[in-house]
Chains A and B, each alone.
Chain A
Amino acid sequence: MALDMEGMMKELRGTYASGKPKSYEWRVSQLRALLKIADHHEKEIAEALRCDLNKPDHESFVYEIASMKSSCQLALKQLKGWMKPEKVKTSLTTFPSSGEIVSEPLGVTLVISAWNFPFLLSLDPVIGAIAAGNAVVLKPSEIAPATSAVLSKLLGEYMDTSAVKVVEGAVPETTALLEQKWDKIFYTGNGKVGRIVLTAAAKHLTPVVLELGGKSPVVVDKNINLKVAVRRIIGGKWGCNNGQACVSPDYLITTKDNASQLVNALKSELEAFYGKDPLKSEDLSRIVNSNHFNRLKNLLDDEKVSGKIVHGGQRDKTNLKIAPTIMLDVPGDSLVMNEEIFGPLLPILTVYKVEDSIDLINAREKPLAAYLFTNDKRLKEQFIRNVSAGGLVVNDTILHLAEHSLPFGGVGESGMGAYHGKFSFDAFSHKKAVLQRSFAGDVPARYPPYTSGKLKFLKALLNGDLVGLIRALIGW
């Protein structure tokens, strides 16, 4: 279906120029509408997620819908405060004066969402765009078509469509959208398309937030509560869309003498969670499509690792299911160690000393997240100091995403910019500096004709040098 891009952009710009999205009342009305969508259409949304990903209701309700609601409620609660200008101190240089930083919307924004948490990752950025007073177009992922259709229908019904639109489609539609001039683009997905988005944005000098991914490592030390650690790893990996999450633990690193304990603990808890026949468990998302299924199958069947599978490996092509699979001591140059896995395979690398894991991690691109399980204070500090990633968690996985006070975003190959909580509001705002002066306090020394006396005075003023200032005044 041909979309009238030009017409759409004109309408959005017109709505934005009218000042409507800038008003507090409009923002609140739209945020409330989003909440209504989540409240009244839970079942429909969960049904779409089951269709797209076979996502268990538990994960849909908790990780997608409840998370989105929480985000929306926070924005509603704190919006007045967020919108208030921030006063700043001014110095002697501009005395008398007052300064403040005013948050203003950027204008017309584009949110390109992903397929793995298609509800949350579409609406969480949209919440930020609306809270900050912008018009916004959402392009949901075509790889999660049921959710895309539900989003289009529900937003079309509940939202002010002169300012909030959904454009469905695949590569042609996304390309057409990227040719337009946006005031901000927010993209969640992979590094390859991230580069395409950034290149398109460069033509219009459009600032971009890129939420990408990477291989998020987990370092597992000895002398810890192994049962709890393993449950948290499983929760973050297989319990989170079956490993298809940007912050899922991608691979583990532990010491050689800890490996078998770790594997046994994982096996034991995996069975407790998913039973003896995980391919039949209702509590695991499937692999999203046959493309990714084949991709993961190749990683499994890579001759470099096929002998390293210590648990799992079963697959069901018809249902697009792969069982939780653990591989031990995979070579660094295997396929599974050279791309973001984004699936239910968990390689374990072993080292002699646990500190060596830091070098292993730093030899690779900066990931979106990195995790450490330890009780060793020194190791914690070393890890925090030396491992660069979007975010770090000690003794858990993925939970930092649930804290609204923490910015969520990548660094290096894992992305740029951040959001969540107030950071979402900031991501879609321009922080406009405002300096106010009166006509008093004019400093004649500023003006030509320039003299050395004036220069002395100004230097003292700029240095905050009161003595020099007085000397210059008197010498004058």
Chain B
Amino acid sequence: MTPEKAKTSLITFPSSAELVSEPLGVILVISTWNYPFVLSFEAVIGAIAAGNTVVLKPSEIAPATSSLLSKLIGEYMDSSAVKVVEGAVPETTALLEQKWDKIIYTGSEKVGRIVAAAAAKHLTPVILELGGKCPVIVDTKANLEVTARRLILGKWGSNSGQTCVSPDYILTTKEFAPKLVDALVRELKKFYGKEPLESPDLSRIINSSHFNRLTKLMDDEKVSGKIVHGGQRDKTTLKIAPTILLDVPEDSLIMNEEIFGPLFPIITVDKIEDSFNVINAREKPLAAYLFTNDEMLKGEFVESVSAGGLSINETTLHSATLTLPFGGVGESGMGSYHGKYSFDAFSHKKPVLRRSFAGEVAARYPPYTPEKQRFLKAFLDGNIIDVFRALFGW
């Protein structure tokens, strides 16, 4: 909350300046269903820290969490300034018709456009935390066991792949792919046992809508022959086993939407560097990952892959690092938050310039003369010598 002092120059001498963080006003947080607790609170924390009032609209697709949030926030918070509005499309639409000072939306690109369009009517700035197909490149020069474990954790260990920063698909060389698959299968058995559908350590699919969407991706005739592990499903319990697909075609359904589930396709390339072109031919994702010990490859990756954020030799954890801004770019979103970025996201950085009545520069004022012009040009150039010359020539 402390204003940040800013340097001032000869142009405004004598003066002092600072940047004052002030609240925007009344904020709307539209949360989502996959991490319904943290994704609701993280934004609300930022809004409150920055001094705003806030309305939270939790996702109706996670109804138990929505009502728990409503109850607890109602009990503990100052409800004249912090409110929860539960509901679905009608309630959200009604909320979006109001004039807010900022809106933060976490969810899909489709609804992101609706939120942005509604906000445009009121000139409301928005943060959109969307998604995308987060690729992970696995190089041969990588510790295969640790890589496999970290991949599994970022995918199935993260809400069964229903996470905006989950690795969506893998890119690796044709010759390395079988080794990678073996390592994944080995570690998967250690983590989830022989019957993953029975493991208590895997989230289920959120609802039957998404369950059907995912089974369609698996049953797409372009890929059904490519399943090298898993594929089991249980419609009653809404569970799908960790599934790996090898060498899927780029025009399959599974490669044309964000998977958001426990299916992990592997695309193989001849040279590992070819992965960059595959990634860059697609929309910018929320995250991109690379597993390698090759310093040059790391450098090329950071240089040429544009995504919200990158992790090297890890997945998802950059979003848990509070010193790093978390947000998307292009189709994966706009704006960012986490840590101080949350405070900043809900603040207006107001510059304040203070002057005294001294330091009058008469050259500013009409009647305009060539001498005054010369003086001011020199002044703006920060060119002290010319300033003096102009002063004396005067």
Residues of A within 8 A of B310 (CB): 432-435
The answer to whether B11 touches A399, judged by C-beta atoms less than 8 angstroms apart, is yes
Residues of A within 8 A of B313 (CB): 436-439
Closest to B289 in A: A435
Answer yes or no: B142 CB below 8 A from chain A CBs.
yes
Task: Using A61-B377, A430-B306 as known contacts, say yes or no to A205 and B352 having CB atoms under 8 A apart.
Answer: no
Shortest B163–chain A CB gap in Å is 15
Task: Using A225-B357, A392-B353, A400-B353 as known contacts, say yes or no to A210 and B308 having CB atoms under 8 A apart.
Answer: no
Residues of A within 8 A of B117 (CB): 199, 202-203
Complexed CA–CA distance, A404 and B382 (Å)? 12
Q: Which of A86-94, A296-304, A307-315 contacts B (4 or more CB under 8 A)?
A: A86-94
Q: Which of A2-10, A109-117, A231-239 contacts B (4 or more CB under 8 A)?
A: A231-239
| Interface residues in A, total, Cβ within 8 A | 97
Complexed CA–CA distance, A418 and B364 (Å)? 26
Answer yes or no: A468 CB below 8 A from chain B CBs.
no
Interface residues of B in 185-210 (CB under 8 A from A): 191-193, 199-202
Picked from A183, A195, A433, A447, the residue with its CB within 8 Å of the CB of B308 is A433
Residues of A within 8 A of B116 (CB): 198, 201-202, 205
Answer yes or no: B321 CB below 8 A from chain A CBs.
yes
Answer yes or no: B318 CB below 8 A from chain A CBs.
yes
Complexed CA–CA distance, A438 and B142 (Å)? 10
Answer yes or no: A67 CB below 8 A from chain B CBs.
yes
Closest to B291 in A: A439
Answer yes or no: B46 CB below 8 A from chain A CBs.
no
Residues of B within 8 A of A88 (CB): 321, 323-324
Task: Using A399-B353, A406-B351 as known contacts, say yes or no to A283 and B24 having CB atoms under 8 A apart.
Answer: no
Complexed CA–CA distance, A380 and B24 (Å)? 21
Residues of B within 8 A of A154 (CB): none
Answer yes or no: A29 CB below 8 A from chain B CBs.
no
Task: Using A205-B112, A405-B17, A430-B329 as known contacts, say yes or no to A439 and B142 having CB atoms under 8 A apart.
Answer: yes
Interface residues of B in 127-174 (CB under 8 A from A): 128, 130, 142-143, 146-147, 149-150, 152-153, 157
Shortest A280–chain B CB gap in Å is 12
Closest to B115 in A: A202
Residues of B within 8 A of A431 (CB): 325, 336
Complexed CA–CA distance, A417 and B373 (Å)? 32
Picked from B6, B143, B307, B350, the residue with its CB within 8 Å of the CB of A405 is B6
Residues of A within 8 A of B109 (CB): 205
Task: Using A56-B368, A195-B123 as known contacts, say yes or no to A432 and B306 having CB atoms under 8 A apart.
Answer: yes
The answer to whether B321 touches A435, judged by C-beta atoms less than 8 angstroms apart, is yes
The answer to whether B350 touches A391, judged by C-beta atoms less than 8 angstroms apart, is yes
Residues of B within 8 A of A389 (CB): 350
Interface residues of A in 243-276 (CB under 8 A from B): 273-275
Answer yes or no: A224 CB below 8 A from chain B CBs.
yes
The answer to whether A433 touches B309, judged by C-beta atoms less than 8 angstroms apart, is yes
Answer yes or no: B271 CB below 8 A from chain A CBs.
no
Shortest A332–chain B CB gap in Å is 21
The answer to whether B143 touches A205, judged by C-beta atoms less than 8 angstroms apart, is no
Answer yes or no: B81 CB below 8 A from chain A CBs.
no
Task: Using A58-B372, A413-B123 as known contacts, say yes or no to A94 and B366 having CB atoms under 8 A apart.
Answer: no
Number of A-B contacts (CB under 8 A): 273
Residues of B within 8 A of A466 (CB): none
Answer yes or no: A57 CB below 8 A from chain B CBs.
yes
Interface residues of A in 413-452 (CB under 8 A from B): 413, 415-418, 430-439, 442, 446-450
Residues of B within 8 A of A234 (CB): 365
Residues of B within 8 A of A338 (CB): none
Interface residues of B in 52-91 (CB under 8 A from A): none
Answer yes or no: B334 CB below 8 A from chain A CBs.
yes
Task: Using A106-B329, A389-B350 as known contacts, say yes or no to A435 and B317 having CB atoms under 8 A apart.
Answer: yes
* Interface SS of B by simple majority: mixed
Picked from A191, A283, A399, the residue with its CB within 8 Å of the CB of B367 is A283
Task: Using A406-B353, A439-B313 as known contacts, say yes or no to A432 and B323 having CB atoms under 8 A apart.
Answer: no
The answer to whether A448 touches B201, judged by C-beta atoms less than 8 angstroms apart, is yes
The answer to whether B317 touches A412, judged by C-beta atoms less than 8 angstroms apart, is no
B12, B22, B123, B324: residue with the most chain A Cβ atoms closer than 10 Å:
B123
Answer yes or no: A342 CB below 8 A from chain B CBs.
no
Picked from B325, B348, B366, B368, the residue with its CB within 8 Å of the CB of A388 is B348
The answer to whether B330 touches A94, judged by C-beta atoms less than 8 angstroms apart, is no
The answer to whether A416 touches B123, judged by C-beta atoms less than 8 angstroms apart, is yes
Residues of A within 8 A of B320 (CB): 93-94
Complexed CA–CA distance, A393 and B11 (Å)? 14
Answer yes or no: B38 CB below 8 A from chain A CBs.
no
Shortest B92–chain A CB gap in Å is 16
Answer yes or no: B354 CB below 8 A from chain A CBs.
yes
Residues of B within 8 A of A (CB): 6-9, 11-12, 15, 17, 19-20, 22, 24-25, 101, 109, 112-113, 116-117, 119-121, 123, 125, 128, 130, 142-143, 146-147, 149-150, 152-153, 157, 191-193, 199-202, 280, 293, 298, 302, 306-314, 317-318, 320-326, 329-331, 333-336, 348-357, 360, 364-368, 372-373, 376-377, 380-382
Closest 10 pairs between A and B when the two form their complex, measured CB to CB: A202-B116, A58-B368, A433-B309, A198-B120, A433-B324, A435-B318, A406-B351, A439-B143, A283-B366, A225-B357
Known: A393-B355, A406-B6, A437-B317. 13 other contacts (CB 8 A): A73-B381, A88-B324, A191-B123, A205-B112, A205-B130, A234-B365, A273-B366, A403-B11, A403-B351, A435-B310, A435-B318, A435-B324, A448-B201
Sample 27 A-B pairs with CB under 8 A, ordered by A number.
Answer: A56-B366, A56-B368, A61-B377, A88-B321, A91-B322, A99-B318, A202-B120, A205-B333, A229-B357, A375-B357, A388-B348, A393-B354, A394-B352, A399-B353, A400-B17, A402-B11, A403-B9, A406-B351, A413-B123, A433-B325, A434-B302, A434-B309, A435-B314, A437-B314, A439-B146, A439-B293, A446-B157
